[in-house]
Structure 1
Amino acid sequence: MSDKTKPRLFLITHHLSLLSISVGFAKLIKYLRSLPNSLSNGENLVRLSVPPRLKTSLVFSLIAPCLLLMPAARVCAQQQQQGAQQTLKLDRVEFKGLGRVTEAEALEKSGLQAGQTVSIEEVDAAADRLLSSGLFEKLGYSVKGKTDKAVVTFTVVERKSSMPVSFDNFVWFTDEELRAAVKRRVPTFDGTAPEAGGVTEQIKQALEDLLRERKIEGTVEYTLSSDASGRRVEHLYSVRGPELRVCKLSFVGARAVPEETLRQKSGGIFDNDYSRAFVAGFAEANLLPLYQERGYLRASFAPPKVKPETSADCEKGVAVTMYVDEGSIYVWDKAVWSGASALTPQELDAALGMKEREVANRVKIDKGLAAVGKAYARKGYLEARVRAAPDFDDEGRRVAFRLQVEEGPQYHMGELTINGLSEADANNLHGRWRLLHGDVYEEAYADEFVKKSLPEFYKDALRAGHPLPALKLDIKATPDREKQTVNVTLNFKPASAPANPPNP
């Protein structure tokens, strides 16, 4: 190695040296790869190679006086075999950076313990076991002391547990029993698990152990699951194998909506295999609206309770109990609009269609918000959005809605193209299209054209003595976001049945 590329070495402590290398990155990697796996001065053994995850690190803990001189690489190479066979007796195993993970759990995952005699390769393997546990995102270690009284220190960065864990159809156990079973294998389990790593597999193994203990047939399956909006993502565990048909369904707390009505609306739950995730989603999408249209805007369903059913009419099935908190009924107070300029508050209120003191029917409110969107589309605002946030007055049992409008750009009429007609008929029909190039685009106009102008076009053709053949019409409106225009194409195609235009 030339003087130009020689590393500059600084010995920081007597037994534990910090090697600082300042050379070009490519030359550094080449040099590191040329070093032996381990070094020994007859007293302390130090590992030079590092796990793949740490190979980009430029700082290594070294205990080797032979590094003081550059020819040491050759001397250490001669001692490689001796170093590989040297062992350390552990005085202590320490951890830095622990938070949720206890030191006892980390020590158990490492497989090391005080008083144990190990090689550096075995310490390396312990580091790999810690990383494979899924508890840590990053990890490094150092060895201090003499071979008969060594201290291994692991410096760790824990993984963040940001995703909830859900148990889907373990109908034989309570959630408390399931969490306790998982904690026996993963002591830090708190109902969540890291997004990646080995913890999810450990949870699966804990659940499989629990099934075997209770002699329950079935296999545990794991998947990442999300709700309909895609915002709530969770680790979902379920059992596959045993028959779990829902044969009984009851509702506790139902008063405003009769329990029988709720059962009648629960056809998607009956006679299907039980799934907590499906039942909860079904209730939110199909049963909550029954309350919301009656003004019970804060009604909610608790997670379903389930137990195996052994009665004659429900053998090998399950009984599901839903708990509903109906809350209070609310009446409409007012709408508070913001962000709107193309439509006045009076126009927006008229489109929304809600009257003061009427029952705050959420289904009607949602339809009114859709009508607001159509009112904007008639003025060319095709991308208008309304964010609705209820403001409850619990004492007066009234609700006002704060409605934030994002109008977006205004679109105008672009090109009109007509396909499938003769040139004369296409020109005739083109002249009946009311929106001219550059006019504010009205989204509802195409439907109006089909209902009014197109029948007149067929009638006039019939009166002129050349009735049109049976045709199908496909209308395609294509917004151009860059030009803020909408190009419309009318495609006429032969129909399978004769056209039946209205009588003149």
Structure 2
Amino acid sequence: MKWLLILLMLAPGIGFGQRRPAAKAPAAPQKSEAPAPTKWPIDSLVVEGNRNYTREQILAVAGLKVGQLAGKEEFDAARDRLVASGFFEMVGYKFEPAPGKQGETATFQVTEVDAAYPARFEALGVPAPELVNMLRSRDPLFSTAKLPPTKPVLDRYVNWIQEYLAAKGSQEKAAARVDPVGPDKFEIVFRPARNFPVVAQITFEGNQVVPQNVLRDAISGVAVGVPYTEERFHELLETAVRPVYETRGRVRVAFPQVRTEPAKDVQGLHVIVTVNEGESYGLGKVDIAGSSPLKPAELLKTGNIQTGDVANFDRVNEGVERMRKALSRSGFMEAKISVDRAVDDGKKTVDLTLHVDAGPQFLMGKLNIVGLDLNGESEMRRIWNMKEGKPFNADYPQVFLNSIREQGLFDNLGETKSQVKINEQDHTADVTLTFGSSGPQRPEGRGRFGQRQ
């Protein structure tokens, strides 16, 4: 027991003789992690799928700019603005980190409304250029060359026109309508909402070279049933009747008088047109002025516009179209050719000067092949002549597919199709060839290559 007591007495002594450990300082409160960023600076903006409208026009409506902080909320709002414009059937977007940079690359994918018609202004009491400038200042997508006839577009422009007229002190109400101007051709007309008398019947006087029924047929489809204004009717004579005479060399045809009276048997106006047919002119020289990516002599040979004969402008236009297609096959897909006339009344001839606006040259981009096995795909790539980086010929993909079918390279070849994706920024065109199968492959077939099942 003594030892036990000593041990018990010593044990507390040892405990009291030790230095008490310093009290631990309370742990600093941990900082909560900052939330992950949801917006990043825009490093670049790309637009895909646009045909009629430029990247700059579309981005102006979207309202986003390079350098701006943006995330899902901003891109959703930009997409909604584009959809609300009435110019696009579908709008999508994607954004991803910009390679090697503290920012994001954004891409808008748009599908434009297919229908798009020229627009003009009629009887609104304000010069058309004023209205054009006003609408262009309020909508970056506005153009009289092409407008989609969608309700959002037409309603918006009608409201802006009415506001502009009211500011000028006019009480005129505006309206928009789509009118025919030829076979399968239409235009959008902004005009007063009040009713105008419509054209019910048309008669020509003074015509001898072209029969009455031919002239009526030329203009009736675009004029009968249309509200009448003298200015507009003269425009229809120029666009619908003048070409009938210009196929016969009558380039000086004129319509000096147009008068109206109530139609007798139907409600509307009977329009009587006086025609001065003029003399027949021949086609003189045809030249190309300015630069052209193809040799002028080769283009003129392709056009095959015959000189020395009657100046038939249907044939002239056909020749110009052949020349435009030749430029397109060389990659100049946006090429335009304008024609200036020089009429010599003394010689009764018309000389033509052609001006080529070639635009950018598009090159072949990537070739994608769908529906073939490895051997078939390899062979298609081998015999595909339009290699990457070469001038793009928009006719070639379908010509190639037709040739494959004619050669019988595949058994049971079903539907084939080609799709072209135009890249406006780098002026390239990617092609996707799709090979379908009409059924199970037969080993005894003469085709040499296989398709995926």
TM-score normalized by the length of structure 2: 0.53
- CA drift at 1:445: 1.8
Conserved in 2, the CA contact under 8 Å of 1:163 and 1:195? no
| SS of the residue 2:309 aligns to | coil
Aligned residue number for residue 11 of structure 1: none
Counterpart residue identity of residue 405, structure 1: V
CA pair 303-194 structure 1, distance change in 2 beyond 3 A: farther
CA pair 490-245 structure 1, distance change in 2 beyond 3 A: same
Query: In the alignment, which of 127, 136, 153 is matched to residue 162 of structure 1?
Result: 127
1:265-287: per-residue Cα shift (whole Å, max 9, x none)?
44426863653477555444432
CA pair 224-422 structure 1, distance change in 2 beyond 3 A: same
CA pair 335-200 structure 1, distance change in 2 beyond 3 A: farther
Aligned residue number for residue 298 of structure 2: 347
1:72-110: per-residue Cα shift (whole Å, max 9, x none)?
xxxxxxxxxxxxxxxxxxxxxxxxxxxxxxxxxxxxxxx
Counterpart residue identity of residue 196, structure 1: L
Find the aligned partners of 2:409 and 2:129 in 1 and give their Cα distance: 66
Alignment map for 1:1-80 (pairs within 5 Å): none
Counterpart residue identity of residue 346, structure 1: A
**1:393 is aligned to 2:393:** no
1:294-326: per-residue Cα shift (whole Å, max 9, x none)?
1122334457432213x4xx0544312123333
Query: In the alignment, which of 165, 168, 171 is matched to residue 196 of structure 1?
Result: 165
Instruction: Give structure 1 regions of 4+ aligned residues with deviation exceeding 6 angstroms.
Output: 224-228, 232-235
1:361-393: per-residue Cα shift (whole Å, max 9, x none)?
111111111111111122222232222111111
Conserved in 2, the CA contact under 8 Å of 1:376 and 1:382? yes
CA pair 327-485 structure 1, distance change in 2 beyond 3 A: same
Counterpart residue identity of residue 410, structure 2: A
Counterpart residue identity of residue 427, structure 1: S
Alignment map for 1:68-467 (pairs within 5 Å): 162-163=127-128, 196-197=165-166, 201-202=170-171, 204=172, 222-223=174-175, 236-237=191-192, 239-240=194-195, 244=198, 246=200, 248-268=201-221, 272=225, 274-276=227-229, 279-280=233-234, 282-301=236-255, 304-309=258-263, 311=264, 314-456=265-407, 459-462=408-411, 467=412
CA pair 416-233 structure 1, distance change in 2 beyond 3 A: closer
- CA drift at 1:491: 3.0
- CA drift at 1:224: 7.1
Aligned residue number for residue 482 of structure 1: 425
Find the aligned partners of 1:321 and 1:237 in 2 and give their Cα distance: 25
1:2-27: per-residue Cα shift (whole Å, max 9, x none)?
xxxxxxxxxxxxxxxxxxxxxxxxxx
- CA drift at 1:257: 1.0
Query: In the alignment, which of 491, 497, 500 is matched to residue 434 of structure 2?
Result: 491
> More displaced, 482-491 or 265-274?
265-274
CA pair 294-326 structure 1, distance change in 2 beyond 3 A: same
CA pair 162-224 structure 1, distance change in 2 beyond 3 A: farther
- CA drift at 1:488: 0.9
Counterpart residue identity of residue 348, structure 1: L
Conserved in 1, the CA contact under 8 Å of 2:401 and 2:417? no
Find the aligned partners of 1:266 and 1:367 in 2 and give their Cα distance: 22
CA pair 294-416 structure 1, distance change in 2 beyond 3 A: same
| SS of the residue 2:221 aligns to | coil
Find the aligned partners of 1:366 and 1:321 in 2 and give their Cα distance: 30
Find the aligned partners of 1:275 and 1:341 in 2 and give their Cα distance: 44
Aligned residue number for residue 155 of structure 1: none
1:139-163: per-residue Cα shift (whole Å, max 9, x none)?
xxxxxxxxxxxxxxxxxxxxx9634
| SS of the residue 1:240 aligns to | coil
Aligned length: 281
Conserved in 2, the CA contact under 8 Å of 1:384 and 1:407? yes
- CA drift at 1:198: 5.1
Counterpart residue identity of residue 483, structure 1: D
1:242-266: per-residue Cα shift (whole Å, max 9, x none)?
7x561x3210232221122212444
CA pair 381-200 structure 1, distance change in 2 beyond 3 A: same
Counterpart residue identity of residue 359, structure 2: G
- CA drift at 1:350: 0.9
Counterpart residue identity of residue 491, structure 1: T
Conserved in 1, the CA contact under 8 Å of 2:340 and 2:354? yes
- RMSD value, Cα: 4.0
Find the aligned partners of 1:290 and 1:411 in 2 and give their Cα distance: 37
- CA drift at 1:494: 6.5
Give structure 2 stretches of 5+ with no counterpart: 1-124, 131-161, 182-186, 440-445, 448-453
CA pair 223-315 structure 1, distance change in 2 beyond 3 A: closer
Counterpart residue identity of residue 422, structure 2: P
| SS of the residue 2:216 aligns to | helix
TM-score normalized by the length of structure 1: 0.48
Conserved in 1, the CA contact under 8 Å of 2:362 and 2:429? yes
Quote the sequence identity (%). Answer: 24
Conserved in 2, the CA contact under 8 Å of 1:475 and 1:488? yes
| SS of the residue 1:416 aligns to | strand
Give structure 1 stretches of 5+ with no counterpart: 1-159, 166-192, 205-220, 497-502
